[in-house]
Structure 1
Amino acid sequence: MKKYDYIILGTGPAAYQLIKLLATQHKSILAIESGLFGGTCPNVGCEPKIYLDGAVQAALLSKQLEGHGIEQAATMNWSQLMKEKKERFASWANETRKNISKVCDVINGSAHFIDRQTIEANRHYFQGNKIIIATGRRPHELSIPGAKFVHDSSDVLSLNKLPEHVTFIGGGYIAMELATFLAAAGSQVTILVRGDRVLRHFYQKYSRELVVKMKERGIQFKFETEPTRITQLSDKYVVELNQDGPMVTDYVVNASGRTPNIEKLDLSAAQIDYSTRGIDVDRHLQTNVNNIYAIGDVTSQDIPNLTPVAEFQAQYLFNSLENGFTQPINYPVIGTGVFAFPQLAQAGINPDSVLEDGDNFEIKEYELSQSSLYAGQKEKGLLTVVYDKANYIVGVSEISTSAINDINYFIPIIGLRINKNEWHRNVLQIYPALADKIEGILR
């Protein structure tokens, strides 16, 4: 039985970052991957999504400017875009495997625990002084008749032929983003939302505004609506609903959420605590078993499941295990965004959480249309800023065509606790761009 300093289950962003760091310490490492090397993000997630988003944003912005200096809006060629996307990303998984293989042993196969130090993979046994679980998440499976007919986000991001009508199940960021993409390319889109709102973790005023904007482009929403059965009808599908009549569609996408990849690990064999939300860890990312840790989306922590968060955890765990760092993990200001049109983005305190706390916080909303930058794009974006009692910015939320990059600019202001005097003493920005916005708020 071969023994290692570290056995790492998964090769997504968290694991990949940790492997690179541990390799600098000349540790013996075994990486086991049951799917695509590199995980969801670079292969079938955020990287290909943002690649497609470039064309989508350009097409929709040209539509917004039609009749305002643009004579004819751009038309997307989905097949060509998808062909070029596949050419770019087809080799990424193999390249990631090659990179990892240069610094550690690699197995492509399913793994599970035998005991607290032993893993079985491909009918071979391995022991690790420390075991890191970084197996990520996968799309949540529907438990309705006909669930076999649905597709997931990975399928959409490799969809060769554009369906005439697409039905999304779910109101999270995956549904809102992919619905934006397909509708921009020419599909008719319907979104089924189980509750009465979308994007529950975002500032709800702006989430509702995004729904309004998407409806204006022809995207339909059905709230408090769930599918109860899906049947095939020739080359189409009939989606039966808990209310209203059945609807006929060409393509059904399950975007109802993601679930941790833990079922095949046999965590009970190592007596690891977990729930349906993921693997339980403490503030040192340690499970209840002292030599086993978990990082990335597979944990049950109540934090955003984002690639930068996973990589931050990897860096923390490396410092903890190899550099003697003893402090619990302390997360920085985390920004998150929705690549729809317009975009939604936020960082720090969500205004919804302090709406009734006027004694400790002040909430101000700024219209962006007065800036020449936004006026030139016929943009009517909104920015909400949360100030604390000392007048520091502690939260920002925005809806606009450039919200994600805009909010990124505020993150260091929040995280570094920069006040107005420090800003004006140390910063002069390029004008007239984002400077219009920041200067107005910090003036």
Structure 2
Amino acid sequence: MVEKYDYDVLYIGAGHATFDGAAPLAKTGVRVGVVESGLVGGTCPNRGCNAKITLDEPVKLTRAAERLQGIVKGDLKIDWTKNVEHKQEIIDDLPADLTKRLEDGGATIIKGYATFKDNHTLMIDGNRTVTAEKIVIATGLRPHRLDIPGTEYAHDSEDFMNLQNLLKHITIIGSGYIGMEFATIANAAGADVTVMLHSDKILRDFYQPYVQLVVADLKKRGVKFIENARVQAFEQNQDGYQILYGDKQTLETEWILDATGRIPNVDNLGLENVGVKHDQKGVYANDYLQTNIENIYAAGDVVANDLPKVTPAAYFESKYLMQLFSGQTIKPIEMPVIPAVVFTSPRIAKAGMSIEEAERNGYEISENDLANYWYYKVDKEPIAQSKQVHDKSGHLLGVTEISDQAQDAVNALLPAIEFQLDPQQIGRLTSLFPTIGYAAWHRA
């Protein structure tokens, strides 16, 4: 690395695309700086995954108690305020823990907002500069906001997770991950929930027959869905808010969640000052995560690619850059199978080849009615199915599952997909019994 710069590597942003690789990189002797204007850890630990799964834990418990009524006696109810307090207890220490991880590794954290001055120089808060031989853009995504009159009356996912008191009627605009997960949580906690769709498709990246099972269950629980809503405006009134949509239709509500997606954090970085190629999809990078400017890289959700915008992808890219910058590899990145899950109740999880692609290309698809498999009957799961994709030699190419344990089943099967284990190799895997891992392998 070149000594004339303040740092060998500077990261912009301190989320998973940074800290998972920056801390071990610094331990190799590389001079590492991390610029962060907010909380160290970024979205996932502070206002995303960790907070969401904590809020969902009581939902999972109430669902299990509901299924086991008669064996378990009495109704369980979620205390929303206590749930949010517990969520905060879980995440409050994470920024300090991650700061310690970075600093113990030898990295320096620079508080402030970074803007490119030139290829090797960042302005911090517009009043001081810091230089580096290499710079990594790892600024992630932020909530999209509808460009309609009254958009200021809507809230984002962080606002939802910080609600101290759950309002009686909540309207969610959008039916992706955030919309459907929060609809599940709010409904289970006692809110009257309406979900307004941009089109007629929900969770478009997941196998639609399984999505429809989730939707049907939520409808039975009282969640309302308005397809092709064409939301036009939000207006405030004495009882809360009025949503104008469709053909002069209106909906009264107490609270609005704008869950219309997330967009790359590329604004106000000064990318135009150095000519980094980017657009509304994000920053463009090659197979070395290198942008069109030789010494500037990008990692994580801000990268314009077709990968799921999930923590495991950001983690892997961060680890790859650590190896690249420390000289442990000179090869281009080779992404592993990246799984995805939506934490509705039940969950839908997937990895590898999709069912749709398998159907188009004539691969073998096997189906399992898991609700009648003894392991899923233990807690009386009413909705539990999986489909697996194999080639003619019996290699597992993909799996999609809907169940309350789908994420663990897919996790168990990932090695078979990633390393293309043959049936004989799979037969040598003897997982702990009785566990979901054992159940998953013995139907692979």
Same fold (TM over 0.5): yes
Question: How far apart are residue 428 of structure 1 and its match?
Answer: 4.8
Report what 2:86 is aligned to.
Answer: 84
Q: 1:327 aligns with which of 307, 328, 331?
A: 331
C-alpha separation in 2, matches of 1:345 and 1:432: 18
The DSSP-based 3-state class of the residue aligned with 1:106 is strand
Q: Does residue 194 of the first structure (1) align with residue 198 of the second (2)?
A: yes
Q: Taking structure 1 as reference, are residues 260 and 75 closer, same or farther at Cα in structure 2, changes over 3 Å only? A: same
Q: Does residue 96 of the first structure (1) align with residue 126 of the second (2)?
A: no
- Indicate if the aligned counterparts of 1:347 and 1:407 stay in contact, CA closer than 8 A: yes
Report what 2:45 is aligned to.
Answer: 42
Question: How far apart are residue 3 of structure 1 and its match?
Answer: 2.1
- Indicate if the aligned counterparts of 2:13 and 2:138 stay in contact, CA closer than 8 A: yes
CA deviations on 1:182-233 (whole Å, 9 max, x unpaired) are 1100001111110111111111111122111111111111111132100111
* Greater mean alpha carbon deviation, residues 69-78 or residues 98-107: 98-107
Q: Does residue 53 of the first structure (1) align with residue 40 of the second (2)?
A: no
Question: How far apart are residue 329 of structure 1 and its match?
Answer: 1.0
The DSSP-based 3-state class of the residue aligned with 1:246 is strand
Aligned residues: 438
1:386-425 aligned at under 5 Å gives the runs: 386-425=389-428
1:17-416 aligned at under 5 Å gives the runs: 17-66=20-69, 68-102=70-104, 103-122=106-125, 123-243=127-247, 245-358=249-362, 361-379=363-381, 380-416=383-419
The DSSP-based 3-state class of the residue aligned with 1:162 is coil
Question: How far apart are residue 437 of structure 1 and its match?
Answer: 4.5
CA deviations on 1:118-145 (whole Å, 9 max, x unpaired) are 1100210121100111011100121001
The DSSP-based 3-state class of the residue aligned with 2:202 is coil
Report what 1:8 is aligned to.
Answer: 11
- Indicate if the aligned counterparts of 2:5 and 2:133 stay in contact, CA closer than 8 A: no
C-alpha separation in 2, matches of 1:340 and 1:267: 38
CA deviations on 1:228-278 (whole Å, 9 max, x unpaired) are 100111241111112462001111001111011110101010110011000
C-alpha separation in 1, matches of 2:71 and 2:346: 20
Question: How far apart are residue 322 of structure 1 and its match?
Answer: 1.6
* Greater mean alpha carbon deviation, residues 189-198 or residues 315-324: 315-324
Q: Taking structure 1 as reference, are residues 181 and 389 closer, same or farther at Cα in structure 2, changes over 3 Å only? A: same
Normalised TM-score (structure 1): 0.95
- Indicate if the aligned counterparts of 1:2 and 1:125 stay in contact, CA closer than 8 A: no
Q: Unaligned stretches of 5+ in structure 2? A: none
Question: How far apart are residue 434 of structure 1 and its match?
Answer: 4.7
C-alpha separation in 2, matches of 1:120 and 1:434: 50
Letter in 2 for 1:143: D
* Greater mean alpha carbon deviation, residues 337-346 or residues 74-83: 74-83
Q: Taking structure 1 as reference, are residues 189 and 244 closer, same or farther at Cα in structure 2, changes over 3 Å only? A: farther
C-alpha separation in 1, matches of 2:63 and 2:435: 23
Question: How far apart are residue 301 of structure 1 and its match?
Answer: 1.3
- Indicate if the aligned counterparts of 1:371 and 1:437 stay in contact, CA closer than 8 A: no
Letter in 2 for 1:223: E
- Indicate if the aligned counterparts of 1:225 and 1:243 stay in contact, CA closer than 8 A: no
The DSSP-based 3-state class of the residue aligned with 1:73 is coil
The DSSP-based 3-state class of the residue aligned with 2:420 is coil
C-alpha separation in 2, matches of 1:373 and 1:363: 22
CA deviations on 1:357-393 (whole Å, 9 max, x unpaired) are 22xx111211012222222322231101111122211
Q: 2:441 aligns with which of 422, 438, 442?
A: 438
Letter in 2 for 1:376: V
* Greater mean alpha carbon deviation, residues 221-230 or residues 324-333: 324-333
- Indicate if the aligned counterparts of 1:57 and 1:341 stay in contact, CA closer than 8 A: yes
* Greater mean alpha carbon deviation, residues 344-353 or residues 22-31: 22-31
Letter in 2 for 1:350: S
C-alpha separation in 2, matches of 1:87 and 1:324: 38
C-alpha separation in 2, matches of 1:437 and 1:48: 28
C-alpha separation in 1, matches of 2:406 and 2:120: 46
C-alpha separation in 2, matches of 1:371 and 1:78: 34
CA deviations on 1:325-370 (whole Å, 9 max, x unpaired) are 2222111111110111011100000101221322xx1112110122
Normalised TM-score (structure 2): 0.95
Q: Taking structure 1 as reference, are residues 243 and 171 closer, same or farther at Cα in structure 2, changes over 3 Å only? A: farther
Q: Taking structure 1 as reference, are residues 286 and 432 closer, same or farther at Cα in structure 2, changes over 3 Å only? A: closer
C-alpha separation in 2, matches of 1:87 and 1:376: 32
C-alpha separation in 1, matches of 2:67 and 2:149: 41
CA deviations on 1:387-426 (whole Å, 9 max, x unpaired) are 1122211010011111111111111111122222222234
Letter in 2 for 1:74: L
Q: Taking structure 1 as reference, are residues 399 and 128 closer, same or farther at Cα in structure 2, changes over 3 Å only? A: same
- Indicate if the aligned counterparts of 1:43 and 1:92 stay in contact, CA closer than 8 A: yes
The DSSP-based 3-state class of the residue aligned with 1:114 is strand
